Amino acid sequence: MKLFRILLLVFVVLIWMFPVVFLILGATNHSGWAYQIPISFQIGNQFRINYDYLYQTFYVNSVIFNSIVVSISTALISIIVIVFASYAFSKYHFKFKNILFGIFIASIIIPQISTLVGNLKLISAIGLYGTIFGLILPFTINIRVFYYLMNMFHYIPNEIIDSARIDGASDLQIVNKISIPMTLDKIALSFFMLFVSSWNNFLIPMIMMNSRRRFTIPVMLSSLSDPLSYNTGSTLLALLIAIIPPLLLYIGLSNIIYNKNSV
Amino acid sequence: MHKTKIIPYLFILPFFVFFVIFKLIPVIITLVNGILEIDETSIVFIKNVELLLLDQVFFKTLLNTIIICILYVVIKIPMVIVISNLVNHLKHKRLILMMLYAPTIVGMYAYAILFRYLFTHNGFINQQLNLFGIQIDWFGNPFFAQLMIALTLLWGTLGFYILIYNNGLKNIPKELIDVIKLESNSKLPKLKYLQLPILAPVIKSILFIAILEVLTLVDLPLNLTLGGPSQSTITLSYYIYMQAIQYNNFAYASFIGIIISILSLALFLTKKNMENFKYEVI
């Protein structure tokens, strides 16, 4: 049984570490490294060259900057919009509440890919095609996060809200001073999920961005790894750049994610 | 009193506006494009149905999606059950779950690009298989290309399912486990008569999310195989991309999108109980 556990741990470590190890090795080695027989597990000295290639052909610094700006703005707009809406759905009674809720939840049934044509046509109709706003605004609605936060607001006792109201607090004050602080960890988690989903947003950005200066990291990767322009070192370096920020955030937030309420 | 009545509407207004513009209108545009639009001669719907019935590639993509889905589920569910049970009694369970979940943060497109290097002819995986005297042409053989897609998808999503299953494991009453322990010493009855029946809804829900995942799979074929070899890894969703972007055939792409939505709706209707719905959030 003990051997079993050790084997399991080895397996887990392999699964978890392997892509990162492979990426670090690839990013610091020359382009033929991934096809070597056998693959050498040595950190190379080609990092600078790989980076320079990315810098010269893809303006990698502005690409990283774009990705950060796009993800943070998407997550910020999203979280503000979603917090208020989910709070209203959780704590107020109003007309059409059930119908609206039904429509919101039903929209999960329709996968994003199936409205690809509609999305592209809409984005170009309102003039966002190929702009940075086209990467932000169409991706601000996330029904799953809405549903999650709505459930989390249910945990706030109504008595607290009522007593604040008797003390003369306005609705906005109640949200700001009571509801948001009480669910701050859940909101941070939601922010993280929104950030990651925007950071990993791939298909529509790839279709509509054609100026290299406006690329985000996934778009850069997809044109980097075009089979005709194999440059393994630079591709793996770009992949490393793509996975590091979400992973760091994840490690930073792991205490919130894995507290006893959520797991 | 009047004030409190307007406030909830103000709170949901921004969300509602964004929802209508960026979720509802694309659906309507897709519907109009794929079904309702009227040409000089006939309604688009009839045209698309004719196209669909003659389209051999579409039925091939449907078959591909089913095969990839079966491969994925058949490998995944036993793995989830075994790993979850192994992790369950460990001291550092939380840490290991955390590490297992971490790969799911990374986008599927990134796995696709990474695994292209790993699965390539002289790549890392074939080098390891060579030690056992096996040589697989992952990009040339249709079956192995489909298996490759399933494995890559598995790599990127396994942690999420283990988390769901572990959540289920926690909810099994201790008394039941003790009773089974009294009855038998071996591990198997515990799994067969206790865990699997109690966690059947969880397994169903895992199955459901997995099918949905394959149904909407587009990043992987796009970055890993480009649909080849001999169209064996074109999934339904990737076919939408091909029709819309490569062939500029927006009407037909919308129509396939509607078909995927109908399949997805059928899935949701099959799995009526939404109690495990909240797991899909994280």
DSSP conformation class of A175: I
CA distance B218 to B163: 24
Nearest CB to B113; choose among A119, A235, A263: A235
The minimum CA-CA distance between A211 and chain B, rounded to whole Å, is: 18
pTM: 0.88
| pLDDT for the residue A1 | 66
Residue numbers in B near A73 (CB within 8 A): none
The minimum CA-CA distance between A203 and chain B, rounded to whole Å, is: 7
Q: How confident is the model at residue A32 (pLDDT cuts 50, 70, 90)?
A: confident
Cis peptide before B189 (omega within 30 of 0): no
Instruction: Show the 3-state SS of chain B.
Output: CHHHHHHHHHHHHHHHHHHHHHHHHHHHHHHHHHHHCECCCCEHHHHHHHHHHHCHHHHHHHHHHHHHHHHHHHHHHHHHHHHHHHHHCCCCHHHHHHHHHHHHHCCHHHHHHHHHHHHCCCCHHHHHHHCCCCCCCCCCCHHHHHHHHHHHHHHHHHHHHHHHHHHHHHCCCHHHHHHHHHHCCCCHHHHHHHHHHHCHHHHHHHHHHHHHHHHCCCHHHHHHHCCCCCCCCCCHHHHHHHHHHHCCCHHHHHHHHHHHHHHHHHHHHHCCCCCCHHHHCC
The minimum CA-CA distance between A176 and chain B, rounded to whole Å, is: 13
Residue numbers in B near A93 (CB within 8 A): 8
The tokens describing B99, both together, are 């590490």
The minimum CA-CA distance between B41 and chain A, rounded to whole Å, is: 23
Q: Taking CB atoms and an 8 Å limit, are A202 and B109 in contact across chains?
A: yes
Q: Taking CB atoms and an 8 Å limit, are B245 and A107 in contact across chains?
A: no
- Which residue in A has a C-alpha nearest to residue B158's C-alpha? A15
Q: Is A44 helix (H, G, I), strand (E, B) or coil?
A: coil
Q: Taking CB atoms and an 8 Å limit, are A5 and B8 in contact across chains?
A: no
| pLDDT for the residue B185 | 66
The minimum CA-CA distance between B31 and chain A, rounded to whole Å, is: 8
- pLDDT, one tens digit per residue, over B56-96 is 889 999 999 999 999 999 999 988 888 888 877 777 777 78
Q: Taking CB atoms and an 8 Å limit, are A100 and B16 in contact across chains?
A: yes
Q: Is A148 helix (H, G, I), strand (E, B) or coil?
A: helix
Residue numbers in A near B277 (CB within 8 A): 147
- pLDDT, one tens digit per residue, over A220-260 is 888 887 655 567 888 888 888 888 888 888 888 887 776 64
Q: Taking CB atoms and an 8 Å limit, are B257 and A88 in contact across chains?
A: no
- pLDDT, one tens digit per residue, over A49-102 is 888 888 888 888 889 999 999 999 999 999 999 999 999 998 888 888 889 988
Contact A254, A170 (CB under 8 A): no
The tokens describing A48, both together, are 């600078």
Q: Longest C-alpha distance within chain B, in Å?
A: 79
- Which residue in B has a C-alpha nearest to residue A202's C-alpha? B109
